[in-house]
A and B are shown apart, each in its own frame.
Chain A
Amino acid sequence: MPDITKTATAPAEETATAVAAAAPQKAEKARSLWGDAWADLRRNPYFLVSSVLIFFLLLIAVFPSLFTSASPTRGDLVKHFLTKPELGSIGSPEWFGYDGQGRSVYARLIYGTRASITVGIAVTAIVTVVGGIMGMIAGYFGGIVDAVLSRITDIFFGIPFLLGAMVVLQAFTDRTVWVVVGALAFLGWTQITRVMRGAVITVKQADYVHAAQALGASTVRILFRHILPNALAPVIVVATIALGGYISAEATLSYLGLGLASPTVSWGVDISAAAAQIRVAPHILLWPSIMLSITVLAFIMLGEAVRNALDPKMR
């Protein structure tokens, strides 16, 4: 069973042997990089914790009404800064108290999830596709194409990310979630391009690529069937970790007043509003900050786990 040698530490090897003994036919099958990574991931506690968290966050983002019956936008000024949280009544509107407009902090937390998750996932998806294709073209064709694309990447990379996003967003008076997604994606693709270019340059020297070229496979086929699957690992790692960063960036921009704005319910908007009243009612600041940090943490932990699983050097 040669595939078990990958595990470095003794206890892990024991469990691997035990698993292999329990299911011998499974272990004997030659595993691909992805199969190997999956086997590694399933044993990683960080991966398990972050997947459970992300599952719940996605559930909240898609079906917020499952978690609260209160409206996030309807305020009742009688409850202005009613801070006494009723921790016994889990999930009820008064659970985390009320904000300055008498709106339920808990309901706003639940409904604010969607904005953050949407921004994170959408920006990552756009950036991975656009940046990935740019990086593949630059890395595979080399020469003048690479020189031009790399300079363009350098140009975008030179602009400080947050400042650039602020300038772009200032142009829009009606800043919806998709405007913020566009602004972050406009400046964020360079990272993926650089990683993909590096990976493609390494992979394209491989014998199977030369073989495919000799057999007369089309460029598109070589790029997508032979190079992409083998150059994808570092891109996935960078993209997963960046996802958390984009969520954080959206909140930061909203906090600065240049991201999402008030009719949209988002944690950043709430934190921004709460910051002005920090001495009166710190609890409004506390809960969205905690939710935000947990969300970013979940995605970054996922990225770290995937990195450990995909990078053979870490073993």
Chain B
Amino acid sequence: MGRYVARRLLQMIPVFFGTTLLIFLMVYSLPGDPVAGLFGDKGTDPATLARLRHEYGLDQPILEQYIRYMGDILLKFDFGTQIRSGREITEVIGDAFPVTLRLALLAFLIELVLGLGLGVVAGLNAGRLADNLVLIFTLLIISVPVFVLGFIVRMVFSDQLGWIAPNVSNEELWSELLAPAIVLGALSLAYVARLTRTSMAENLRADYVRTAVAKGLPKSRVYGVHLMRNSMIPVVTFLGTDIGALMGGAVVTEGLFNVKGVGGLIYDSIVRREGMTVVGVVTVLVLVYLVASLLVDLLYAVLDPRIRYA
């Protein structure tokens, strides 16, 4: 186990650097100049521009910029400063992160509970009415794009029924985050339900289930322990990669419900060409993704007794 974790951690290192380098190259090969942007349409004299560019290190070769940037992050936990506001990027991310994390966790919880629930119901009734209803429901959810779903939720629940406020207030109460979390988690909810259903329906015919039934175990134990535990592997794989995806996918949902989180920060930064902020946020998201996928691999061993990490 310890050796496996060590090997996985070592494998994560090139992926971490590769992904951050890739996003760095993508961001900095963009045309457009955030320094010139500071001065608006009027512009300023070339000497000032050159001095500011030098100050932000934008005049050096791109690989050198990357190495210095990574060095600052890893050694001094310094993500640089946001050019527009002059604030530390760690501070900006620190402000935006908690609400997005809460939103993602709430969405995660919703997809876990509802997705698993629907999947189990469909899987145990494979081929019957409940299965088909769940199939139709999940297909509909998957095919309606997130922003359309968001509009529907807003129109129905805030404009027509008045159950929720159209925008999330600055206090960001849990109850206010519920509607955006449903919208954010809906797509993954459908995938979780489909995965659970397929996996349950397949394993229902497995030998170990027949054995468990044959030796007289109660139904609740056969389904709840034997079947569930073995059917969870594809679902856990999906859920693991999904935490990062939820935080990234918050761009649309946060915009729709006016949540001031990471999604809005990324969107603003991309549009304003604040490369440093974009790279910083994506670096954090990549870390979340890498840690989550490591946890998933370790969970495999817990779920399936046949998998053992030496």
Interface residues of A (CB under 8 A from B): 9, 151-152, 154-156, 158-164, 166-168, 170-171, 173, 244, 248, 251-252, 255-258, 271, 275, 278-279, 282, 285, 289, 292-294, 296-297, 300-301, 304, 313-314
Q: How far is the CB of B84 from chain A (nearest CB, A)?
A: 16
- Interface SS of chain A: helix, strand, loop or mixed? helix
Say yes or no for B117: interface residue by CB 8 A criterion: no
A251 to B145, Cβ gap below 8 A?
yes
The listed residue (B16, B202, B270) touching A170 by CB distance below 8 A is B270
Evaluate whether A293 and B285 lie within 8 angstroms (CB atoms) in the complex, with A159-B19, A164-B26 already known: no
Q: How far, in Å, is A96 (CB) from chain B's closest CB?
A: 16
Q: Is the CB of A252 within 8 A of B140?
A: no
Q: How far is the CB of B197 from chain A (nearest CB, A)?
A: 11
- With contacts A162-B249, A248-B145, A252-B252 taken as known, whether A171 is within 8 angstroms of B15 at the C-beta atoms is no
Residue from B19, B29, B255 within 8 A of A155 (CB atoms)? B19
Nearest opposing residue in chain A for B159, CB measure: A279
Q: Closest chain A residue to B241 by CB distance? A: A157
List, in ascending order, chain A residues with CB within 8 A of B37's CB: none
In the assembled complex, the CB of A270 is this many whole angstroms from the nearest CB of chain B, namely 12
Cβ contact within 8 Å between A275 and B151: yes
Is there a chain A Cβ closer than 8 Å to B107's Cβ? no
The reply to whether A314 and B198 contact each other, CB–CB distance below 8 Å, is yes
Residue of B nearest to A257 (CB): B271
Contact of A167 among B27, B148, B198, B255 (CB under 8 A): B27
Asked if B148 contacts A171 (CB within 8 A), the reply is no
In residues 1-57 of chain B, which contact A (Cβ within 8 Å)?
11, 14-16, 18-19, 22-23, 26-27, 29-32
Residues of B within 8 A of A166 (CB): 251, 266-267, 270
Known contacts A163-B248, A252-B146, A257-B271; can you find 16 more A-B pairs with CB under 8 A?
A155-B14, A158-B290, A159-B23, A160-B244, A164-B23, A167-B270, A171-B31, A171-B32, A248-B145, A256-B267, A271-B147, A278-B155, A289-B145, A289-B151, A292-B145, A297-B139
User: What residues make up the interface of B, taking CB atoms closer than 8 Å to A?
Assistant: 11, 14-16, 18-19, 22-23, 26-27, 29-32, 127, 139-140, 142-148, 151, 155, 159, 198, 201-202, 244-245, 247-249, 251-252, 255, 266-267, 270-271, 273, 278, 282, 285-286, 289-290
CA gap between A37 and B202 in the complex, in Å: 19
User: Taking the nearest CB of chain A, how far is it from the CB of B176, in angstroms?
Assistant: 20
**Contact between B148 and A292 (Cβ–Cβ < 8 Å)?**
yes
Residues of A within 8 A of B30 (CB): 167, 170-171
User: Given A155-B22, A301-B139: A160 and B248 within 8 A (CB)?
Assistant: yes
Contact A296 B143 (CB under 8 A): yes
User: A160, A161, A300: which contacts B143 (Cβ < 8 A)?
Assistant: A300
Q: Which of A151, A167, A304 contacts B278 (CB 8 A)?
A: A167
B residues in contact with A282, CB < 8 Å:
155
Contact of A297 among B32, B140, B201, B267 (CB under 8 A): B140
Partner of A154, one of B15, B151, B159, B282: B15
Q: B244's closest neighbor in chain A, by CB?
A: A160
Residue contact B266 to A252, C-beta cutoff 8 Å: no
- In the complex, which residues of chain B have a beta carbon less than 8 angstroms from the beta carbon of A292? 145, 148
Highest count of chain B CB atoms <10 Å: which of A158, A161, A282: A158
Verify B271–A170 contact, CB threshold 8 A.
yes
Q: Which partner residue on chain A sits nearest B273 by CB separation? A: A170
What is the bound-complex CA distance between A278 and B267, given in angstroms?
22
Q: Name the residue of chain B whose CB is nearest to the CB of A148.
A: B14
Nearest-CB residue, chain B, relative to A274? B151
CB of B276, distance to nearest CB on chain A (Å): 13
Q: Which residues of B contact A271 (CB under 8 A)?
A: 147-148
